[in-house]
Chain A
C-alpha cells in the first residue's frame, strides 16, 4: 500500500510540476529566452494567494490575484530585463545572470515581508479520505489532476487552432518570416510570457495548500522546470509536461527505498544522465548547438 500511496502523491506533485514546466517550455520554445526566473513567478503567485487568504478573500479572488501577479511579473521581466539585454547582445549567460539576480531579489523580498518560515494554507481540500483500505487520497489530488487535464487540453487546442497559437509556434521557428507576414514578434513574445507565467499559478496555489511555501521555493521549482524541460527536450511542451509528471512520481517513489533527502537528488541524477547521454531529451529535435 505504501507504494500506491506514494504513487498517488507522486502523481499529484507531478501534475503540478508538469504545468509549471510547461510554462517554462512554452516561453523558451517561443522566444528562445531562458526564463530562469520562472520559479520566482511561482513563488510570487503562491505568496499572493497566501496574502489574499490572510485578508479573508474568497478563493476565486485569491486565484485571480495570483494570476494577475504572475502575469504582471512575467510581462515586467520580459519588457524591463530580457528585452533590453537581448537588444544589445544576445549572450545567453547575461540573460541567465540577470534572471538569477531577479530570483535572489524576489526571494529576499518575500523573506522580508513574510518571514523565512514555511507557510501552508489549511483547506478542507487537503483532508485525506480513505479510498481503499490503507490508501488515503485527498480531494486536492483530483483537483490537481483535473486542473492539469483541462489546462493541457485547452492549451493544446489554443496552440493548434487559433491564430495567436499558430503565431507562437511560428515565432519559435522563424521570427523573420513571422515579421514578413505582418505579425508582431514583440506582441507574440509578450503573449508567450503572459501564458507561460499563468501556467505557474495552479502549481503555486495548490502547492501552497499541500506542500507549503517557503522563500526558497522558487529555486526548487525552477530546478524542477529546468530538469523537466531538458529531459522532455528543450522547447517541447509535451516533453516538459511528461517529464514533470515523471519527476514528481520519481521524487515520491524514491522515499520508499531511500531517505527523503535523496528524493530531490534522484531527479538530478536523471537530469545529469540525460545531459550526458541524450541532451535532446525524450521528444526534442536535435537542437544541440
Chain B
C-alpha cells in the first residue's frame, strides 16, 4: 500500500511538472498546444538513452532532456509565429500525430512499440538514489523549481510581456514588444520542462514506449491545466491531483467492472471538460468570469 501511494505521489509530481509547463504556453502565452506529450516523449527517450548508454545521472539526464525538447520545440514555435487561433491548434494536432508515427517507427532510437526497457535507477553525483521516497523528493524538487521559476518570471517583464501578447498581440507589438522572441522563449521554456518531466518519467517507470506520448496523453495534460484553471499558479496542480486521483478512486468503486474503468474514467473527465467550459470556463482555480 505504501509502495502504491509513493508511486502515485511520484506520478503526481511528474504530471504536476507537465501541467505547470503546459500552463506557461496555454495559460500565460495563449499558445494552445495539443502536442505537449510529444516533448514529454522526447524528454523520456533522451533521458532513457542517457541512462542506458552513458550513466544514469539524474541531472545529466534532465539536462539532456530539457535541451533536446527545447531545441526540437522549434517545430512548435514556427507555426506559433506564423498562425494563431484554430490554425495553431490544428498545426499542433498535426505535429502530435506525426510524432506518434515517428516514435512508433524510428525503432533504432525509440524501440518502437516495444519501447526502451531496463532503465537503471538514477544516481546523483555518483550516489544511487535508492528508495522511492528519495526519488519522490527529487521529483518534488523539480516541480518546486518550475513553480518558483514560473512565479518569478510572471512577475517580471518577460511574464508581463507574455501575458500582454496573449491578451492582444497587436497591442503588445505596438508597444514595442518583440513578439517573436517572447513567444519562442515561452515555447522553449514550457517544452524544456516537459522534457525534464519525461526524463523523470523514464526513471520512474524504468521503461518507456510510445503509448505514453500519444494524443490522449496530450489531451489529459491539457485537461489538467484547463480543469484546474489556466493562467493560475495553483490551477494546474489542482487539475493534476483531481485527474490522477480519479482513476485511483474509481478502482475502489465495487459495481464498475474492472474492464470498463478506463471508459468510465474517460467519460467523467470528458464530461468535466465540457461542463466546466460551459459553466466555469476559467477552471476551478480561475476567476469566475472568463478573462479572455
Q: Interface of A with B (CB < 8 Å)?
A: 34, 81, 84-85, 88-89, 91-105, 107-109, 111-112, 219, 223, 226-227, 230, 234, 259, 261-262, 264-265, 268-269, 271-272, 275-276, 279, 288-289
Contact = CB atoms under 8 A, between A and B. Distances in A.
A105 B274 contact: yes
Given A101-B272, A104-B270, A108-B264, A223 B82 contact: no
B273 A101 contact: yes
- The size class of the interface chain B forms with chain A is 35 or more
A102 B275 CA distance: 10
B32 A272 contact: no
A179 B223 CA distance: 37
Given A226-B90, A261-B104, A81 B278 contact: yes
A265 B278 contact: no
Contact of A288 (B83, B101, B275): B83
A99 B89 CA distance: 13
Interface of B: 26, 32, 78-79, 82-87, 89-91, 93-95, 97-98, 101-102, 104-105, 215, 219, 222-223, 226, 260, 262-264, 266-267, 269-275, 277-278, 281, 289-290, 292
A230 B87 contact: yes
7 contacts: A89-B281, A89-B292, A95-B277, A97-B277, A105-B274, A269-B98, A288-B87
Given A89-B281, A268-B97, A275-B83, A81 B274 contact: yes
Q: DSSP class of A's interface residues: helix, strand, loop or mixed?
A: helix
B271 A101 contact: yes
A223 B94 CA distance: 8
A85 B276 CA distance: 10
Given A89-B281, A272-B95, 14 more contacts: A89-B292, A91-B290, A91-B292, A93-B26, A104-B266, A104-B273, A105-B267, A261-B104, A264-B101, A268-B98, A271-B91, A271-B94, A275-B87, A289-B85
